[in-house]
């Protein structure tokens, strides 16, 4: 059989696998030190080609390690509608990446047989990359894989992760979703944004100003490119634009969220609206500092609340009966969930950590708003929701208020990147909502008050001994752990805690929230101790925080 793919054998020898190296297609693709990834990239070029033949569609491959350090890299596959690749193929990705060189063709043929792939079918692969110094040669390795199976490809070069997802969807909908070019992306989003802003009266220059931390990554480059499309309706001061700082180093959305402080290289004036992207611009968080110098974070939960409240108001004004839900994970602050359910009367669903899980649940609704607390999220609209909105706009009998609301909904849909969380798109939507509502960042922050919380990590011998259920909110194994957590939670007011094995690091993550920071810290520590004792902790016992 090997004779069938002479080009694959030949090219593969240029991308040898370090013998014995085992990697896993994790929550968001492969991710590790860049030096270990050349063979993985070549093979993901092969796999994307097979997936393209199987789906008779264009498939995307994005070279990035998101918020990881500059020295790392990674790769994610993008399915035909711009969503993350389907789980069965994540398994194939792992098999293919881990086959020793001599077994590569067998591993390839195994997938072809299992999936009954017609190798005469044409294939096309879109490739994009972030600004890491290793990304150019790694994306060349992907392209080598694609061409060794004689498939077509387009190299988009430097793009954000969500831009590549967007291109794939545009291509596979024959342009219905938009034009599959970076310029087409800017035009679609900015035109919708400018339409939305026509509904914002008396917006001062102060309100139009936003300070943005680009994490020294691709997002900064792309915001600069887009700037001329925004007609000064959004005036961005760009920091950490990559001109001298290091990617993700003491900056970016992950740093800000985890450290709960402003990035370095960033001048935060009191009261000023600021935001941070992560290294591949698929996450965003907002923040400001008050007159006492106190830092305030507006994370994915606050963003989901702002967006869902705004959409609900428009649905009411348009008298549109569409079912809408907000999808969160167990990390969502309890105050946000309570506010959405009790005050906004919205359906709230809880998904397992990882964008694909939230995306999947959001698809079950006419309008599914999904956000992880870390700032990754978007809004999905069903085809029938989009049709109903269009009908209202086209109907000569619709009154002005309904028509206005329907047009706002339609332009909001156009600003949103429905394929995946997109920092640029989310930023434009948030900025438009704040402008339309005449709302300051402080007023947005005041919608509800976050419960104090704490996240800790515990090292254990094998984190797989922890198995969870109920969207990771309860531990099924090891025996006794959940009972211990339940008993600890009972000691504190408004408390909640859960533990889960990380999908990206060799640790168990502990989350706790409670009425005061002291109780949240104490609870997180006590739960960490329970994990250490019951789940095979290694190294020193966790120490109290205070």
Nearer of residues 435 and 501 to ligand 16G, judged by Cβ: 501
Q: Is 28 in the site for ligand 16G (CB under 6 A)?
A: yes
Distance CA 202, CA 210 (A): 17
Strand ranges of the sheet holding 30-33, from the earlier edge strand across to the other edge:
30-33, 72-78, 58-63, 124-129, 152-158
Q: Is 217 in the site for ligand 16G (CB under 6 A)?
A: no
**Pick the catalytic residue: 11, 12, 66, 497?**
66
Shortest reach from residue 4's CB to Mg ion, in Å: 38
Residue where the block lists tokens 């619709």:
398
x/- map, 369-398, ligand 16G, by CB under 6 A: ---x-x-x----------------------
Residue 278: name its binding partner from ligand 16G, Mg ion, none (Cβ under 5 to 8 Å by kind): Mg ion
Give the interface segment with Mg ion, choosing from 274-282, 462-470, 492-500, 523-531 (CB under 5 A).
274-282
Please select the residue that binds Mg ion; options are 278, 445, 450, 521, rule is CB under 5 A.
278
Residue where the block lists tokens 């698929």:
282
Identify whether the C-beta of residue 47 lies closer than 8 Å to the C-beta of residue 111.
yes
- In sign, the C-alpha dihedral spanning 176, 50, 56, 90 is negative
Identify whether the C-beta of residue 327 lies closer than 8 Å to the C-beta of residue 351.
yes
Residue where the block lists tokens 């209202």:
392
Q: Is 353 in the site for ligand 16G (CB under 6 A)?
A: yes
Shortest reach from residue 82's CB to ligand 16G, in Å: 13
In this structure, the number of other CB atoms found within 10 A of the CB of residue 337 comes to: 18
Distance CA 231, CA 99 (A): 52
Q: Is 280 in the site for Mg ion (CB under 5 A)?
A: yes
Distance CA 290, CA 275 (A): 15
Q: Report how far Cα 425 is from the mean position of its chain's Cα atoms.
A: 12
Nearer of residues 228 and 260 to ligand 16G, judged by Cβ: 260
Please state whether beta strands 235-239 and 209-213 pair in parallel, antiparallel, or not at all (unpaired).
parallel
Shortest reach from residue 65's CB to Mg ion, in Å: 9
Q: Is 129 in the site for ligand 16G (CB under 6 A)?
A: no
**Which residue, among 403, 490, 502, 416, has the nearest Cα to 457 in the 3D structure?**
502
Shortest reach from residue 378's CB to ligand 16G, in Å: 12
Please say if 398 is a catalytic residue.
no
Give the interface segment with ligand 16G, choosing from 118-126, 228-236, 303-311, 498-506 (CB under 6 A).
498-506
Give the interface segment with ligand 16G, choosing from 4-12, 110-118, 174-182, 368-376 (CB under 6 A).
368-376
Nearer of residues 241 and 422 to ligand 16G, judged by Cβ: 422
Distance CA 201, CA 314 (A): 17
Going from the C-alpha of 85 to that of each of 110, 146, 184, 316, 383, the distances in angstroms are: 19, 17, 24, 36, 21
Residue where the block lists tokens 């831009």:
163
Residue 354: name its binding partner from Mg ion, ligand 16G, none (Cβ under 5 to 8 Å by kind): ligand 16G
Q: Scanning residues 62 to 91, which ones bind Mg ion (CB under 5 A)?
A: 66
Q: Is 502 in the site for ligand 16G (CB under 6 A)?
A: yes
- Which parts of this chain interact with Mg ion (CB under 5 A)? 66, 278, 280, 282
* Catalytically active residues, by annotation: 66
- Which parts of this chain interact with ligand 16G (CB under 6 A)? 27-28, 353-355, 372, 374, 376, 502-505, 509
């Amino acid at each position: 059989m090997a004779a069938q793919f002479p080009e694959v054998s030949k090219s593969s020898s240029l991308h040898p696998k370090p013998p014995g190296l085992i990697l896993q297609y994790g929550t968001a693709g492969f991710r590790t030190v860049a030096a270990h990834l050349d063979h993985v990239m070549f093979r993901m070029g092969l796999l994307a080609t097979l997936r393209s033949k199987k789906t008779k569609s264009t498939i995307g491959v994005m070279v990035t390690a998101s918020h990881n350090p500059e020295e790392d890299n990674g790769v994610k596959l993008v399915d035909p509608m711009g969503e993350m690749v389907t789980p069965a193929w994540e398994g194939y990705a792992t098999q293919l990446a881990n086959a020793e060189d001599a077994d590569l063709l067998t591993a390839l043929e195994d997938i072809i047989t299992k999936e009954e792939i017609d190798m005469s079918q044409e294939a096309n692969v879109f490739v994009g990359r972030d600004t890491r110094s290793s990304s150019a040669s790694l994306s060349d390795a992907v392209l080598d894989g694609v061409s060794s199976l004689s498939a077509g490809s387009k190299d988009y070069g430097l793009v954000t992760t969500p831009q590549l997802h967007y291109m794939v969807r545009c291509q596979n909908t024959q342009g219905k979703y938009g034009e599959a070019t970076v310029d087409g992306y800017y035009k679609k989003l900015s035109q919708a944004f400018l339409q939305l802003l026509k509904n914002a009266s008396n917006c001062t220059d102060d309100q139009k100003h936003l300070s943005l931390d680009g994490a020294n990554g691709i997002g900064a480059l792309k915001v600069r490119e887009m700037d001329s499309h925004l007609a000064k309706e959004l005036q961005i001061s760009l920091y950490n634009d990559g001109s001298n700082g290091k990617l993700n180093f003491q900056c970016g959305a992950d740093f800000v969220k985890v450290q709960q402080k402003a990035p370095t290289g960033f001048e935060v004036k009191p009261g000023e609206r600021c935001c941070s992207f992560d290294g591949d611009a698929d996450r965003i968080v907002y923040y400001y500092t008050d007159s006492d110098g106190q830092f305030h974070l507006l994370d994915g939960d606050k963003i989901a609340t702002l967006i869902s409240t705004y959409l609900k108001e428009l649905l009411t004004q348009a008298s549109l009966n569409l079912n809408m839900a907000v999808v969160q994970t167990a990390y969502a602050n309890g105050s946000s969930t309570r506010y959405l359910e009790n005050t906004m009367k919205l359906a709230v669903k809880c998904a397992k950590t990882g964008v694909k899980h939230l995306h999947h649940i959001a698809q079950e609704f006419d309008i599914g708003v999904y956000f992880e607390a870390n700032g990754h999220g978007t809004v999905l609209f069903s085809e029938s929701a989009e049709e109903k909105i269009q009908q209202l706009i086209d109907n000569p009998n619709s009154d002005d208020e309904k028509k206005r609301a329907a047009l706002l909904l339609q332009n909001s849909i156009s600003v949103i990147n429905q394929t995946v969380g997109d920092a640029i798109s989310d930023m434009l939507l948030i900025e438009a909502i704040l402008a339309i509502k005449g709302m300051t960042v402080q007023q947005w922050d005041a919608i509800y008050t976050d419960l104090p919380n704490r996240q800790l990590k515990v090292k254990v011998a094998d984190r797989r001994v922890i198995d969870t259920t109920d969207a990771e909110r309860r531990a099924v194994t090891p025996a006794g752990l959940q009972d211990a957590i339940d008993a600890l939670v009972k000691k504190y007011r408004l408390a909640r805690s859960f533990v889960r094995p990380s999908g990206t690091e060799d640790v168990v993550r502990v989350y706790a929230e409670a009425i005061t920071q002291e109780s949240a810290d104490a609870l997180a520590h006590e739960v960490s101790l329970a994990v250490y004792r019951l789940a095979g902790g290694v190294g020193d016992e966790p120490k109290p925080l205070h």
